[in-house]
Structure 1
Amino acid sequence: MSIQDQEIFLSNIHPFGHLTPSQMSMCLQHMDIAYYPKDTILISPNNIPNTFFIIIKGSVFEYSKENNLIMDYQSEDSFDSNSLIYGKCEHTFKVHEELICYEIDKKAFLSLMEKNQEFKDFFLKDLVNKIKTLKDKEYTSELSSFMIAKVQDTLIHEACIVEEDTKLIDAIEKSMEFKTSTIIVKSKELGYGIITDSLLKVKVLLQGRDLTIPVKDIAIFPLLTIQKDDYLFEALTILVKRNIKRVGVVNSSGEMVGILEQIDILSHFANHTYVIESKIKNAKNVEDLKNASKDFLDIITSLQAKGVKIYHISNLIGQLNTKVYQKLYSLTLPKELQDNACLIVMGSEGRNEQIIKTDQDNALIVKDGVDVDQYRPYMKQLTDDLIALGYPPCEGNIMVSNPAWCKSFSDFKSDIVKWINNPDMKSYLDLAIFIDSFSVAGDKELLISLKEYVFNKAQNDLFLAYFAKSTTAFETPTAISNFIGKNSLINIKKAAIFPIVQGIRSLSLKEKIKETTTIKRIKILEDRKIIEKNMAAELVEAFEIVNTLRLKNHLEAINNAKPISNEIDTNTLGKIERDLLKESLKIVNEFKKFVSYIFKLDKIY
């Protein structure tokens, strides 16, 4: 390999890419290529080397003092800066597959640390900050997609149009029916004009004019318009240039089809959320809701591509899903029934952590003394409508259409007693998703009271231990090398996401924490000194990483018209993704040990 090839190789490995040309040259001068056969001990507590290793080919395993495999290193991985910096090492590094590697002299490595602050900072950072550094990369801007978006791709408000001779009072009444403050005036000679609230104040209220005057007397002509198939940035250009807040939208024949507001254009640029919220709010039927929610996937895709934190994406989508449930509840149930019940979402929906619509877990709590049977046909309709909106049915039938999840407050109370006093696997599952429940419509006090009842009934050490035991139910690999080759699939939900969710959920139940979101639960547990600050930070980062990988996997499946799966092919991961996953799995395994210790899981069977 030439010097130039070596430089290219190093430049692609963080943080060597931050070296200046002279620093890179010095590094190359003190770097050699070495070969080690399988089973060679490179580093151990009794053998501290004088070189920094960067793998070209082969693999190295890192073992703890108890001889447990805690990390594997593959091509382009490096180790062990701590041995060189601190002159000691508690772990053992052993060649797993015959190794070809670069070795950088200790003096040169330490010299680079002194000369380059970014290089130094990376190797002196703790685990959480290293993860953040690896994640610190910019994603492609959304500007290109914005530039090719059409006016018809965003929210166009229905126009309140009146003829030019219409009395102003009549026009105002019509605008109130349309729930708009903008009146469009149609003139045979002048085309379209506009009357706004500010115009009414200036030309009518301040001048004391009669409300019976024709609208043409105060309307501003012409109303600037744009065609619905024009580019959205052209509309924005007009608004900015003319310092106005809205333009009319016309079809190819010049007929008015609606009004485009400045806030809608800006919202489109900011991932359409305001547009969708408005569509949901104004929905008059299920078809309107379907049109509103079909853009959820576009929001998710664009936010993920821009590198927005998974927590913010899930929170945003969770809020939009809540609005869909609220609107559907109001459309489905007669008004006199709505306040006597509480519609709840549970599981990942209740935690605000379901981004892609994978299933629906919901229930209805009905006030005692109110006939539950009158709700059942409406709940059947609500489930069918949710399916039509793209929320897949729950395989376990945990839905409001199931009488077992549409019942009175007292019946739910009886279920809680059964879940806790006579638990089996189904009871633990039902209790787990109920603990994560969140009220989306109706009387939320019904759920609050049931939650309080759960927390009080569950304060039994033996029960809590068995509840927490499923945290360790699935294997979390100690090294990605376990999945390279033929067995390259890893179920990211079972291996990493579920252990964090269930472990944190168990600790939250023990501490009577009413918050449902995993990240917020972690922070509350940290505040209460149940989890140390470093562990809390590591769990937040690990949870972010594994959920990001899962979301990326789901979106790729959708784009390729394949079934959504939690199994990730580790052979397809890039270098940084692989490093992040390694660190995350390490954190998950440490957390499992912590949960086992807190709940004394070794004492139960």
Structure 2
Amino acid sequence: MSIQDQEAFLSNIHPFQVLTPGQMSLCIQHMDIAYYPKDTILISPEKIPNHFFIIIKGSVYEYSADNVVVMDYESEDSFDSNSLIYGKCSNTFRVNEELICYEIEKNTFLNLIEKNQQFKDYFLKDLVNKIQSLKDKEYTSQLSSFMIAKVEDTLIHEACIVEENTKLIDAIQKSMEYKTSTIIIKKASGEYGIITDSLLKVKVLLEGRDLDIPVESIAIFPLLTVNNDDYLFEALTILIKKNIKRIGVTNSKGEMIGILEQIDVLSHFANHSYVVDSKIKKAKNVEDLKSASKDLINIIKSLHAKGVKVNHISNLIGQLNTKVYQKLYNLVLPKELRNDACLIVMGSEGRNEQIIKTDQDNALVVRDDVDVEQYRPYMQEITKHLIDFGYPPCEGNIMVSNPFWCKNVKEYKAETVRWIEAPDMQNYMDLAIFFDSFAVAGDKELLINLKDNLFNKLHDKDVFMAYFARATLAFDTPTTISNFMTKTHFIDIKKAAVFPIVQGIRSLALRERIRETTTVKRIKILEEKKILEKDKAAELLEAFDVVNTLRLKSQLEDIQAGKKINNEIDTHSLGKIERDLLKDSFKIVIEFKKFINYVFKIDKIS
């Protein structure tokens, strides 16, 4: 192989592409090609290598001390920097298939680490930062303002701020000097409020009030804010969720530094989400709403193509889905019935994690002493419309059209008793789905009351919680990917990685009485409560993002090809870096399963 061929090969191996031409030349000068037959031990606790290995052809398995395969290495994979850097290794690396590889001399490798900071950072980083580095490499070509733009990167309007006791006439005069129609009010407590033109029309002109009144008497408190260092996409999500046109911007000290206008955010992104949001709001009948909901898939495709993180996509789509449900509820139900019930979404919809419409999990909670039967025809209609909108029916019939999921508070309370006192797999899953419920329309207090009741029933139920958490271990997570690459080459990513994280975190959240439903926010709360260590929480967040990104990519490809959507990913279609990301994510999931087993003492139950 020529020097040019060697350089071309190395340039495709992360992070060798960060080497300078001189460093690359040095690397090639001290690099040889080697051959090893099957079962050759390359590295072990007793055999520390003098070379850094990069596979050209063949494969190598890494075994733990108890002889379990923990990682597989194939073409373009490299190993083992740690044994060279630290001079020790607790695992064993054995050739699985005849190996042809490059060997870089130890001293040369260590020299490159000292001379190139980016190269050094990659090999000395922890697993979380390594995953982030790989993701940056994989998606650099897709990075756009969607993914990296911060609030401070867009237009922030200077805020016209007045004290709470300022006369309205004086505040209006000041706003004219600032050439703005928005007045920000600051209380002595540090809380901020807002007065807009529309508020002046309603509270002053129409009510005939005097302009000498203090601004606090008509202002709206509190003013929603974002930090100037927050992602701009997060600000867009809040604007859409809250149906507002502007939001305050604060610095790290919580001080107001300006106003972010919806129009400026939209012009920055120039995406279709605001159009869909407006269509949902303006929908006058079911057909209008159907048209709006059909546009969601185009938003998903656009955001994914532009490199938006899957968590941001799910948040935005979740908000829009919620608005579809709210609007449909109000279109179908007579006004006199709406406030005596609460429409809820559950499962992945309740966790705000269903991006592609794969099924619907929903229910209705009716106030006690109100006739549930009068709601049933309307619930049948809602299910029918949702199916027509493209929300597939739930295979388990977990829908409002099913009488089991349409009843009053008292009946649901009796149901939770049965789930806990007579546990079986179906009851565990019903409880899990219900625990993830989120109120989308009607009287939300009905659901809050039910969850309070559920938390109280679970007090001192350690054995139940152990059985509940055991579902985390229900599916195998591959220790290697190579067996899938050579056999079925398909991995059900939901069973292998998504579900174990969701169920394990859900179990911890249930035990800790955490009301938040999204997995990402649950992880952050568990970290704050010291249930999860900071590093473990960070690892789970990264792994969750990786596996959901790969799942979404595969599902969008299925849609493009006209195939039925599922949770399988084709490992043959994965690029080198995607495969590395998946390997590292599986490693995190496997460790998390061990953690859940230990915390809930699952191995102590039959």
The TM-score with structure 1 as length reference comes to 0.79
Amino acid at match of 2:32: D
SS in 2 for 1:401: coil
Where do residues 105-116 of structure 1 align in structure 2 (5 Å cutoff)? 105-116=105-116
Q: Which amino acid in the other structure matches residue 313 of structure 1? A: I
Aligned identity (percent) is 73
Q: CA offset at residue 139 of structure 1?
A: 3.7
- Report the Cα offset of residue 302 of structure 1: 1.3
- Aligned residue number for residue 513 of structure 1: 514
**Partner-residue secondary structure (3-state), 1:529:** coil
Q: Is the 8 A contact 1:31 1:103 kept in 2?
A: yes
Name the structure 2 match of 1:41. Answer: 41
Determine the structure 1 residue equivalent to 2:495: 494
Residue in 1 that maps onto 2:120: 120
Distance change in 2, residues 1:142/1:508 (3 Å)? closer
1:55 to 1:517, Cα distance in 2 relative to 1, 3 A: same
Spell out, residue by residue over 1:136-158, the C-alpha distance to the aligned partner (whole angstroms, 9 max, x if none). 03244789xxxxxxxxxxxxxxx
CA contact (8 A) 1:523 1:536 kept: yes
The letter for the 1-side match of 2:592 is F
SS of the residue 1:411 aligns to: helix
1:285 aligns with 2:285: yes
One-letter code aligned to 1:549: L
Tell me the equivalent position of 1:473.
474
| Alpha carbons 1:267, 1:274 under 8 Å: kept | no
With over 3 angstroms needed to count, the CA separation of the structure-2 counterparts of 1:531 and 1:8, relative to structure 1, is same
Does 1:28 find its partner at 2:28? yes
CA 1:521–1:142 in 2, change beyond 3 Å: closer, same or farther?
closer
Q: Is the 8 A contact 1:264 1:274 kept in 2?
A: no
Distance 1:505 1:124 in 2: 33
Equivalent AA in structure 2 for residue 550 of structure 1: R
Distance 2:516 2:265 in 1: 35
Contact 2:362–2:400 (Cα < 8 Å) also in 1: yes
Structure 1 residues 69-116: Cα deviation after superposition (integer angstroms, max 9, x where no partner): 110000000001111111111111111111100000011111111111
Q: Does the CA-based 8 Å contact 1:64-1:90 persist in structure 2?
A: yes
Q: CA deviation at 1:424?
A: 1.3
CA distance in 1, matches of 2:265, 2:25: 51
Q: How does 1:300-319 map to 2 (within 5 A)?
A: 300-319=300-319
SS for the counterpart of 1:484 is helix
| CA shift in 2, pair 1:485/1:142, >3 Å | same
For the residues of structure 2 that align with 1:42 and 1:333, how far apart are their CA atoms? 70
Q: Aligned partners of 1:455 and 1:33: how far apart in 2?
A: 62
Gaps of 5+ in 1: 144-196, 206-261
2:103 maps to 103
Amino acid at match of 1:603: K
Answer yes or no: is the 8 Å Cα contact 2:55–2:75 preserved in 1. yes
SS in 1 for 2:407: strand
Q: Does 1:371 align with 2:366?
A: no
CA distance in 2, matches of 1:390, 1:128: 37
- The 8 Å contact of residues 264 and 275 in structure 1, kept in 2 or not, is answered as no
Matches within 5 A, 1:520-535: 520-535=521-536
Q: Which residue of 1 aligns with 2:426?
A: 426
The 3 A distance-change label for structure 1 pair 282 and 139 is farther
Contact 2:60 2:96 in 1 (8 A): yes
In structure 2, C-alpha distance between the alignment counterparts of 1:306 and 1:42, rounded to whole Å = 42
Equivalent positions of 1:574-585 (< 5 A) are 574-585=575-586
Closer, same or farther: CA 266–465 of 1 in aligned 2, 3 Å: closer
Question: Whole-Å Cα distance in 1 between the matches of residues 462 and 264 of structure 2?
Answer: 54
What residue in structure 1 maps to residue 296 of structure 2?
A: 296
Deviation at 1:271? 2.1
How far the C-alpha of 1:67 sits from its partner, in A, is 1.4
SS at structure 2 position matched to 1:579: helix
User: Which whole-Å CA distance do the structure 1 matches of 2:120 and 2:264 have between them?
Assistant: 46
* Corresponding residue of 2:546: 545
Give a deviation string over 1:518-560, Cα, whole Å, max 9, x none.
Answer: 0111111111111111111100000000000100010000000
Return the index of the structure with the highest Cα Rg. 1
Partners of 1:283 and 1:97 lie apart in 2 by 61
Pick the aligned partner of 1:138 from 137, 140, 144: 140
Distance 2:315 2:68 in 1: 38
Mapped partners of 1:445, 1:122: distance in 2: 50
Counterpart residue number, 2:435:
435
- TM-score of the aligned structures, taking structure 2 as reference length: 0.79
In the TM superposition, what whole-angstrom CA distance separates every residue of 1:14-52 from its partner, at most 9, and x where no partner exists?
Answer: 110011111100000000000111111111111101110
Q: CA deviation at 1:266?
A: 4.3
**What secondary structure does 1:71 align onto?**
strand
Question: What root-mean-square deviation, in Å, do the aligned CA atoms of Structure 1 and Structure 2 show?
Answer: 1.8
* 1:366–1:408 Cα contact (<8 Å) kept: yes
Separation of aligned partners in 1, 2:76 and 2:494: 27
Q: Deviations over 1:101-133 (max 9, x none)?
A: 000001111111111111111111000000000
Aligned residues of 2:59 and 2:97 also touching (Cα < 8 A): yes
- Give the distance between the partners of 1:57 and 1:16, measured in 2 at CA: 18
User: How do 1:260-271 residues align onto structure 2 when only pairs under 5 Å count?
Assistant: 263=263, 266=266, 269-271=269-271
Distance 1:337 1:392 in 2: 26
The offset of 1:269, in angstroms, is: 4.6
- Whole-angstrom distance in 2 between the partners of 1:457 and 1:471: 22
The equivalences for 1:55-66 within 5 A come to 55-66=55-66
List structure 1 runs of 4+ shifted beyond 6 angstroms.
Answer: none
Paired position in structure 2 for 1:450: 450
Q: AA paired with 2:575?
A: G
Contact (CA 8 Å) 1:57, 1:99: kept in 2 or not? yes
In structure 1, C-alpha distance between the alignment counterparts of 2:323 and 2:268, rounded to whole Å:
19
3-state SS in 1 of match to 2:75:
coil
- Contact 2:266-2:274 at 8 Å conserved across structures: no
For residue 267 of structure 1, report the CA deviation from its aligned partner.
Answer: 5.5
Q: Is 2:587 the partner of 1:586?
A: yes
- Counterpart-to-counterpart distance in 2, 1:545 and 1:307: 13
| 2:37 and 2:95 in contact (8 A); partners too | yes
Equivalent position SS for 1:138: helix
In 2: Cα distance, 1:444 partner to 1:518 partner: 21
Work out the CA distance in 2 between the residues paired with 1:465 and 1:562.
Answer: 39
How much has 1:452 moved relative to structure 2? 1.2
Report the Cα distance in structure 2 between the residues aligned to 1:30 and 1:394, rounded to whole angstroms: 60
Write the letter of the residue equivalent to 1:470.
Answer: A
Matched with 1:208 is: none
Q: Secondary structure at the match of 1:123?
A: helix
